[in-house]
Structure 1
Amino acid sequence: MEHNLAVGLDIGTTKIVAMIGRENEYGKVEILGIGKSKSLGVHRGVVNNITQTIQSIQQAVQEAEVAADMKIIGVTVGIAGQHIRSLQHSDYITRSNSETVIDDNDIDRLINQVHKLVMLPGEEIIHVLPQEYKVDGQAEIKEPIGMYGGRLEANFHVVVGQVSSIRNIGRCVQSAGLNLEGITLEPLASANAVLSQEEKEAGVALIDIGGGTTDLAIFRDGIIRHTAVIPFGGNVITEDIKEGCSIIEKQAELLKIKFGSAWPGENKDNEIVSIPGLRGREPKEITLKNLSKIIHARVVEIVEQVYVEIKNYGHEEQKKKLIAGIVLTGGGSQLKHLKQLVEYITGMDTRIGYPNEHLAGDSDEDITSPLYATAVGLVLDGLKRQERKKVEEQQNEAEEQEKQEEIKEKPVKERRSFLDKLTERVKDFLDNAE
């Protein structure tokens, strides 16, 4: 695949999206093709039917290939799901020689140490995200590289998930005939696609309401501070409408999208929708007031759970306040009056997030829908990863040349992220598992 091309594969509970994007000369991303299929083998963000998931992936990928008129080889895939949890951890290393400055190797050593944390059986560390560093007890250091010091410590935000779930996703991608190029945490991907740098600095909570899960990512001072996955999303709303109105799922979903509202006050008592009966039965009449009451009850529950997580992060402390408030994205964010309801429950400023932050200006309106936030984020992630590969290749070439002739300048070496290592481990596992 060309260097400036990447494919994001968002394996969701309701839909699977394959998106092909490339970076244009202005550093913006053009979406060349997009394919989506109904996701049948995924429940609450976790694969529970491998065969069906493989078929859905293939269908989405084929559609994207036709649209872009190219063959897809490698993909960057997102992981979410109810098994994801996060914790705070601090750790330190003592440097053998405090006369030398702190460099990448010290930080790698510190991060690798966090990797040895003992997790619950079957859990794997997915991300280790340094929050801030201390050097010899001096706190609040953002970048310790180049400083002198004997003791280097840091607070970390550690995200863990189930090994088996991650491997199953790898397995589906591989069996669908694709290369697994990278794994990313979905809330991070959506955040990349939707949030501006200013918002991340000021403090913001991104809430991605998907079909099966609601993902949360909190940023402050430009650093990710908290992540959580809440194990329900838009599907439980549809489920409730189905039960509450005794209709089939397809009708419930349509009702939700067409007439649904998160705010029950606005419907008059006499507004009624008539739904055709099954197989010659009488049509059903449903009042919009009832419909929005059902939706309201569920949405309040989801928003309150998210708000508990925001409070856990410490939003109520002055120095942790999220000045930019809340950004809602994902398919579930399209529900009428949701913004008002979220503002009412949390008292925080809220906007709907469209993934157009890094997209080329002339992008199709469909693509900039909140539905595609995660997919766009995965494409961005894939492009970044290729950029890093390119830098590494250049370094290797530079090192080769250096052996022949001394070169003064080297490209800056980027630290390999945790996810790159995780991706490799999953790949190795899959290769040896056959």
Structure 2
Amino acid sequence: MEHNIAVGLDIGTTKIVAMIGRKNEYGKVEILGIGKSKSLGVHRGVVNNITQTIQSIQLAIQEAEAAASVKIESVTVGIAGQHIRSLQHSDYITREDSETVIDEEDIDRLINQVHKLVMLPGEEIIHVLPQEFKIDGQAEIKEPIGMYGGRLEATFHVVVGQVSSIRNVGRCIKSAGLELEGITLEPLASAHAVLSQEEKEAGVALLDIGGGTTDLAVFKDGIIRHTAVIPFGGGVITEDIKEGCSIIEKQAELLKIKFGSAWPGENKDNEIVSIPGLRGREPKEITLKNLSKIIHARVVEIVEQVYVEIKNYGHEEQKKKLIAGIVLTGGGSQLKHLKQLVEYITGMDTRIGYPNEHLAGDSDDAITSPLFATAVGLVMDGLKRQERRKVEEKIEEEIQEKIEEEAAKDEAEQEEIEPPKKPKRSFLDSLTERVKDFLDNAE
């Protein structure tokens, strides 16, 4: 695989998407190829049938490889599902020497301390995201590096998930013949692809409505403040239509996409759709008014749960107000009149988010559909990881050269040289390493 190419793999409940992208000379992301397959074996964002998931992954990967004519070796994968929860946590360290400035190592020490948090059995920390720092009681510090102080404390947003679910995803990727490049929380990936920096500063809630889950990420002052995964998505709407109209799932899905609306007042009583009956049975007639009533009831439930989460974050406080409102993305965001319904329930400004924020200008319309927001975000994450890795490799080479130079000098005078500092690895990289190690040992 070429060096400057990254692959995002979005393992969803309804579809699996493999997307290949690279950075062009303007720093925008160019999508080279895309492959998608029906996702079998994933339920509400969690893998529940490994064999089927592996086959679906391979199909999507092959399609993407054919479209871009490159060979895929490693992928950045998104993690979501109903087992994800997040919590706020504050922690502090006391520095021995308050006469020296705070550096990366102090922050690493603080973050590592958060990793010692005792989780419920079977849970693992996926992300530790610092919110803001406090030095010797001085609050609201965004960047503590370079400042003096004895006590460094911070509030963290900690995202937690089930170890077994994460490992199962790792297993599927390995068995599909791929390397695991990195793991990212899906709402974070979607947010990367869809939101602008201004929105994150002003305060915004990103709502990614997928097939099995609805993911929420709240940003304010450019920092992620809250994440949640709600275990309902477009799939339960289809289920309800299927049950409510006594039709098969395929027909229910088509009905929802073609005629569905989240706002019942829209349809006249006399608008009727006729659906062919099963083998030799009479066709069924369904009024669009009933259809939208069924959809409306379920969508209201989902949106109200989301609103509860937004209130949990503290949206009602003046300082925490989300000025940019709500951005809807994901396949479920394409439901007619959803924007109006969300505005009506929450009273917040709402727009539909298309993942074209960082894509090259001439991208295909199909790619900029909200359907692919997570995949685009994962590609961007993969590219970022590679850039970081290049920097690390360069620094390691420099260290090596320096050591060799020194050794070549007079060995008698050899002094201990201080190698340049390695850039810190994000926690995610080490989680990826751990998942990889686990898989290698499990073989």
Tell me if TM exceeds 0.5. yes
Quote the offset at 1:70 in angstroms.
1.2
Q: Which residue pairs with 1:151 in the alignment?
A: 151
Q: Which residue pairs with 2:355 in the alignment?
A: 355
Q: For 1:136-285, what aligned pairs fall within 5 Å after superposition?
A: 136-285=136-285
Q: Which residue pairs with 1:425 in the alignment?
A: 434
Q: Which residue pairs with 1:111 in the alignment?
A: 111
Name the % identity.
Answer: 90
CA contact (8 A) 1:35 1:61 kept: yes
Quote the offset at 1:412 in angstroms.
8.6
CA contact (8 A) 2:396 2:422 kept: no
Quote the offset at 1:400 in angstroms.
2.2
Quote the offset at 1:345 in angstroms.
0.2
Q: Which residue pairs with 1:415 in the alignment?
A: 424
CA distance in 2, matches of 1:358, 1:394: 27
The amino acid across from 1:111 in the alignment is: I
Quote the offset at 1:288 in angstroms.
0.2
CA distance in 1, matches of 2:195, 2:177: 33
User: What is the TM-score when the length of structure 2 is the normalising length?
Assistant: 0.96
The amino acid across from 1:364 in the alignment is: D
Are 2:36 and 1:36 aligned? yes
Q: Deviations over 1:202-221 (max 9, x none)?
A: 00000000000000000000
Q: Which residue pairs with 1:299 in the alignment?
A: 299
Are 2:123 and 1:123 aligned? yes
When Rg is computed on C-alpha atoms for both structures, the one with the higher figure is 2
The amino acid across from 1:298 in the alignment is: R
CA distance in 2, matches of 1:229, 1:244: 26
For residue 180 of structure 2, give the secondary structure of its aligned residue in structure 1.
strand
Q: Deviations over 1:92-122 (max 9, x none)?
A: 0000111110000000000000000000000
CA contact (8 A) 1:272 1:285 kept: yes
For structure 2, list consecutive stretches of 5 or more residues without a partner in the other structure. Answer: 407-418
Q: Deviations over 1:22-41 (max 9, x none)?
A: 11000001101000000010
For residue 232 of structure 2, give the secondary structure of its aligned residue in structure 1.
coil
User: What is the TM-score when the length of structure 1 is the normalising length?
Assistant: 0.98
Q: Which residue pairs with 1:371 in the alignment?
A: 371
The amino acid across from 1:204 in the alignment is: V
CA distance in 1, matches of 2:227, 2:23: 28
For residues 285 and 63 of structure 1, do their structure 2 counterparts lie closer, same or farther at Cα, with a shift above 3 Å needed? same
CA contact (8 A) 1:391 1:411 kept: no
The amino acid across from 1:210 in the alignment is: G
Q: For 1:60-75, what aligned pairs fall within 5 Å after superposition?
A: 60-75=60-75
Q: Which residue pairs with 1:389 in the alignment?
A: 389
Quote the offset at 1:402 in angstroms.
2.9
CA distance in 1, matches of 2:236, 2:29: 34
CA distance in 2, matches of 1:99, 1:244: 70
CA distance in 2, matches of 1:303, 1:414: 41
CA contact (8 A) 2:399 2:420 kept: no
Quote the offset at 1:416 in angstroms.
1.1
CA distance in 1, matches of 2:275, 2:141: 61
Q: Which residue pairs with 1:312 in the alignment?
A: 312
Q: Deviations over 1:389-434 (max 9, x none)?
A: 000011111222333569xxx9995431111010000000000011
Q: Deviations over 1:28-84 (max 9, x none)?
A: 011010000000100000000000000000000000011111110000000000000
Q: Deviations over 1:293-312 (max 9, x none)?
A: 00000000000000000000
Q: Which residue pairs with 1:342 in the alignment?
A: 342
The amino acid across from 2:358 in the alignment is: H
The amino acid across from 1:219 in the alignment is: F
CA contact (8 A) 1:263 1:337 kept: yes
CA contact (8 A) 1:391 1:413 kept: no
For residue 292 of structure 1, give the secondary structure of its aligned residue in structure 2.
helix
Q: Which residue pairs with 2:414 in the alignment?
A: none
For residue 166 of structure 2, give the secondary structure of its aligned residue in structure 1.
helix
The amino acid across from 1:224 in the alignment is: I
The amino acid across from 2:337 in the alignment is: H
CA distance in 2, matches of 1:274, 1:27: 50
The amino acid across from 1:35 in the alignment is: G
Q: For 1:13-24, what aligned pairs fall within 5 Å after superposition?
A: 13-24=13-24
For residue 201 of structure 1, give the secondary structure of its aligned residue in structure 2.
helix
- Paired residues in the alignment total 431
Q: Which residue pairs with 2:326 in the alignment?
A: 326
CA contact (8 A) 2:325 2:350 kept: yes
CA distance in 2, matches of 1:422, 1:43: 23
For residue 269 of structure 1, give the secondary structure of its aligned residue in structure 2.
coil
Q: How well do the aligned residues superpose, as a CA RMSD in angstroms?
A: 1.1
Quote the offset at 1:280 in angstroms.
1.6
CA distance in 1, matches of 2:76, 2:266: 43
For residue 389 of structure 1, give the secondary structure of its aligned residue in structure 2.
helix
CA distance in 2, matches of 1:265, 1:398: 68
Q: Which residue pairs with 2:411 in the alignment?
A: none
CA contact (8 A) 2:194 2:355 kept: yes
